[in-house]
Chains A and B, each alone.
Chain A
C-alpha cells in the first residue's frame, strides 16, 4: 500500500521503498469527536505504513487531526473505526514501546529537570547509577547543563520543550511520537535541535513520527512527509524526500533545488491550493 503511495514525481528522487519491517500501520483509520452534541470528524479514512527506522513528518493545517493521529498510535485514543497496528498487533492501550512528546508539554511541574528525565527510568526500575549516567548524557545533549535541579516553572518555554523531548527519549522507546515538540523553541536553537535529532535517530535506529505545522521543518527532518488536509482530516499525499544523509545541515538543504521544489509543493498541498500528484490511497 505504502509502496504505491511513496511514489515520487520529483526529479528522479528514488522512492524510499525499504525492505525493513513494518512497525506502525494505520488501516482505514477514522476518528470523530463528539462534544456537546456536535460531531467533528478529526480523521477520515487515513492509511499509513511506517517502517522501522523511518523518520516520518506529518504536516497540515491546525485542526487536521495530527494530534489525534499521534494519540491513536500512542494508544491513548481508540479510533472510531479502522485499525492502528504496532509491529503487526492491534494497539489497545499506551505502552512504553511508543513514547510520546505531548503538544501541551506533559512534563511534571513538581519534578526537577533531572527528575523529569529520570521518570521513565525510575518506572522501569533502572539502577540509580545507570539512571544518573543516562540523565547526565541527555542533559548535555539538550544543552541544559547547570539546570538539572531547576523546576519547570524556572525554565523558558523552549527549555521545557527540550526537557519534554529528553524525558521521552530517556527510556529509548522503539517508536517516538513527537507532537510539535519544537514549537516554542527559537529559530536558532531549533536548527541545532533538528540537526541533533536527525543524528540521534540515525545513530540509535529509532522510528520517529514527527508532527509539525512548519513545512520547512517537515521537509528538513523527514524521510518522507505526510501532508494532511483539514475538515475532515485526510492524508493528501505522502511526499518522499531525497536522502540527504544524517549529517545534513540547513545550509545543504536550502541550496538544494530539489528540496526547494518539494517544499513549494508541500506548502501548496497543505494550503489546499493544489491537487495531490501521487494517487491518494483509500480514495
Chain B
C-alpha cells in the first residue's frame, strides 16, 4: 500500500474507526443473541448480566487479586520463555553446528501439546509458581525460538561483513547487525508466543493452580455461572491486548516500524 502522506492521516483515522465499528457490531450481535428472541441466558448471558458479574467481582476486590496473581505468573513464565527462546534462537541461527545438533530435538519437542505436560508439571513442581512458569515456558519457548533462529539466519551477510571491514568483532556484529536485523522476526515470535503463554496459563490454572483468572473461571463453571465465565474470558482478552501492546507494539513502534524494516498495518503500511 503506497498511501501518500496526505491520505495516510485519513487512512489511520478510518482504520481506528473500523476497529471501533467491528467491536460495536460484535456487541450488537451479542445483544441480539442474548435477547428473549435468542438463546436462553444460562447458555449465553447478555452483556448487562456479564457486566454485573464483572462489577461484583471487581467491587469485592477478588477480581484484582486474581488478575494480579495471573499477571504475575504470566510475566514470570514469559520472561523465562522469551529469554531462553531468544538465546537458543541466536545460538542456532549463528552456528550451523548448533543447528544440526539442537534443532531436530527442539522441533520434535515442540510437537507435543502444551496441555499434555500439565499433569507432569503438577507432579514435578506442585501448584506453585514453578508449575505455571514451566507450563508457560513450554507454550512460548518454541515459537520464540523458531522465529529468532529464522530472523538471525535471514540477516543479509554483507551487513555483518561491513562491520568486519570497519574493524568490528563478533560482538559488534551481534549488537549492531544481528539483533536489529532479526528484530522483525523476534517481535513476531513474541506476539504469537504471548498468546500461547496466555492459553498455557489459563489451562494451568483451570487444571490445578490455586487462584488466578483461570481458577476463577473454573469455580464459576462448577457453580454454573456462565455470566462470570464470560466476564473472566473478556478480562483475559483485555489483559492480553494490554500486555501485547506493552511488550510488542510499543517496542515495534520504536524500532522496526521506525526503521522501516517492517510494514505496520495500523498505519496503512510503512512503505
B166:A119 contact, CB within 8 angstroms: yes
For this complex, 30 residue pairs linking A to B, each with C-beta atoms less than 8 Å apart, are: A74-B161, A74-B165, A76-B161, A76-B165, A93-B164, A94-B164, A94-B165, A95-B165, A95-B167, A96-B167, A98-B165, A100-B162, A100-B165, A102-B161, A104-B158, A106-B159, A108-B176, A109-B260, A109-B261, A110-B261, A111-B176, A123-B163, A123-B166, A151-B260, A153-B259, A153-B261, A168-B165, A168-B166, A171-B166, A171-B167
Interface residues of A (CB under 8 A from B): 74-76, 93-96, 98-100, 102, 104, 106-111, 119-120, 123-124, 151, 153-154, 167-168, 171, 173
> Given known contacts A99-B166, A106-B161, A108-B176, what 11 new A-B pairs fall within 8 Å (CB)?
A96-B167, A106-B156, A106-B162, A108-B159, A109-B261, A110-B181, A111-B176, A119-B166, A120-B167, A168-B166, A171-B166
How many A-B residue pairs have C-beta atoms within 8 angstroms? Tell me: 74
Which chain B residue lies CB-closest to A116? B162
Q: Interface size of B by Cβ–Cβ distance < 8 Å?
A: 23
A75 to B166, CA, bound (A): 12
A120 contacts B180, CB within 8 Å?
no
- Which B residues between 227 and 271 are near A, CB-CB below 8 angstroms? 255, 258-261, 271
User: B253 → chain A, closest Cβ, in Å?
Assistant: 14
A104 to B172, CA, bound (A): 20
Q: Give the complex CA separation of A239 and B106 in angstroms.
A: 59
**Taking chain B's interface residues, is the majority helix, strand, or loop, or is none over half, making it mixed?**
helix
Do A120 and B158 contact each other (CB < 8 Å), given the known contacts A109-B259, A110-B261, A153-B259? no
Q: Does B96 contact A (CB under 8 A)?
A: no
* Cα distance A106–B157 in the bound complex, in angstroms: 9
Task: Please give me the residue from chain B that is nearest to A120 by CB atom.
Answer: B166
